Amino acid sequence: MKTTTTELSEQWKALLAQTPKLRIRDAAQRLGVSEAELLATRCGEGVVRLEGDWREFIKSLPKLGRIMCLTRNEHAVHERYGEFRKIGFFGPAPGIGQVVGPDIDLRLFLAHWQVGFAVTDHLEEGPRYSFHFFDSDGTAVHKVYLQPESNLGHYHELVEAYASPDQEPEQLTTPLPAPEAEKPDAEIDLAAFQKEWLELKDTHHFFMLLGKHGVSRQQALRLAPEGYAWPVKVASTEIVLETASKENLPIMVFVGSKGCIQIHTGPVKNIKWFGKDWLNVLDDEFSLHLFNTAVKTAWIVRKPVAEGGVVTSLELFDAEGENIALFFGERHFGDKEDPKWAELAESLPKEEAR
């Protein structure tokens, strides 16, 4: 029998009574529902369902001033503070967008932005205001949290302008299509795939290369040209973060959901473990929370670029082959790769190929 919204709300309140700091995502998992379904039970009680043109909504976010953006997947959480700047969109709606600033740096896939909510949480230190966006299956794709110095007046203007007529405490969800089965290696035109890899001029074209040949990302790494991808020990992530911290080596950290890739560019300083599972960066303007236990494979990947040489990344994957996070050396368009980053990446302990 389907749980009613009233029952679901009461179950959530009971969980919070037992565990006051329980995060909504964890509560939803315990209750067997999506995060969007659980959040919707609060419509009219600090939560407002939003609807409208997300492109126009995002264009208005610079007026909020300094905020915190949060993007996560199943095993990593990426938090970055700053302001929205240099916003652009491409292709017919919903299309693809980008925010390219020195602090907030996002790639947006708006087909996965199916519903939004404005959320007011009443915490011990005072009210917290935020925007949450979800895919059709109720999975969060991106969140924006106001800070004490944010423009609260503009937040309320946005809530009023984008409030949906539907404020019912129930959120309908639709499962996402199942991923396509990986094509057998024998069906890949290996010579053509490797040739086109070696002819890459832009790292952004790598995704198109995978699509053209119908290969998954991890499959592509197995089939890479000699010397362009190899597995390394899972411990490589900690080595990269600790080395970058000690040597003041600026890096780039990518974490993505289906609707957003969020990027940090710059130093990482405060590297901490929480227990044996969570590896964290806890800096003033950037935080990373990586469930390191879920990382099953790690790869060094090299891609040619037009400027000459290659761009090198450390890529992490879970047991299902889903990408968890990517690490690069700091690099701006048109620049060559930092040789210190390349040296670090190539020195990481190798793992025997499986």
Q: How far apart are the first and last CA of the chain?
A: 45
- In the prediction, which pLDDT does 1 show? 43
- Does one domain contain both 191 and 154? no
- Does one domain contain both 152 and 245? no
Strand partners, 256: 261
Here the CATH number for the domain that contains residue 141 is 3.40.1570.10
Give percent of the chain with pLDDT exceeding 70: 99
What distance in Å separates the CA atoms of residue 136 and residue 139, rounded to the nearest whole number?
7
Read off φ and ψ for residue 329, nearest 5 degrees: -75, 155
- Does one domain contain both 82 and 135? yes
Residue that has been written with the tokens 């590297």 in this structure: 271
Return the structure tokens found at 318.
Answer: 């879970």
What distance in Å separates the CA atoms of residue 114 and residue 136, rounded to the nearest whole number?
6
Residue that has been written with the tokens 């790494």 in this structure: 221
DSSP 310: E
Q: Is residue 178 part of a domain?
A: no
Q: How many domains would you assign to the chain?
A: 2
Amino acid type, 201 = K
- Does one domain contain both 19 and 68? yes
Q: Is the pTM of this model over 0.85?
A: yes
Top-confidence residue, 336 or 297: 297
- In the prediction, which pLDDT does 354 show? 52
Q: Is residue 304 part of a domain?
A: yes
Which domain does 193 fall in, by range? Answer: 185-347
* pLDDT > 70? residue 3: no
What distance in Å separates the CA atoms of residue 291 and residue 277, rounded to the nearest whole number?
6
Mean pLDDT of 282-298: 98
- Does one domain contain both 232 and 134? no
- Does one domain contain both 233 and 273? yes
Return the structure tokens found at 252.
Answer: 């780039």
* Cα–Cα nearest to 79, from 144, 1, 127: 144
Q: Is residue 262 part of a domain?
A: yes
Q: Is residue 353 part of a domain?
A: no
Q: Is residue 102 part of a domain?
A: no
- Does one domain contain both 147 and 227? no
What distance in Å separates the CA atoms of residue 69 and residue 130, rounded to the nearest whole number?
10
Q: Mean pLDDT in the chain?
A: 95
- Does one domain contain both 337 and 222? yes
Give percent of the chain with pLDDT exceeding 90: 91
- Does one domain contain both 274 and 231? yes
What distance in Å separates the CA atoms of residue 318 and residue 294, rounded to the nearest whole number?
6
Output the 3-class SS for 255-306: EECCCEEEEEEECCCCEEEECCCEEEEECCCEEEEEEHHHCCEEEEEEEECC
- Does one domain contain both 154 and 38? yes
Neighbours of 183 (CB within 10 A): 13
Local confidence band at 333 (pLDDT 50, 70, 90 cut-offs):
confident
* pLDDT > 50? residue 255: yes
- Does one domain contain both 144 and 246? no
Mean pLDDT of 220-225: 97
Q: Is residue 272 part of a domain?
A: yes
Q: Is residue 107 part of a domain?
A: no
Local confidence band at 124 (pLDDT 50, 70, 90 cut-offs):
confident
Mean pLDDT of 269-295: 97
> Which contiguous run of DSSP H or E holds residue 40?
helix 35-40
* pLDDT > 70? residue 138: yes
Q: Is residue 352 part of a domain?
A: no
- Does one domain contain both 274 and 226? yes
Express each pLDDT in 20-34 by its tens digit. Answer: 889 999 999 999 999
What distance in Å separates the CA atoms of residue 135 and residue 103, rounded to the nearest whole number?
25
Strands 140-146 and 229-232: unpaired
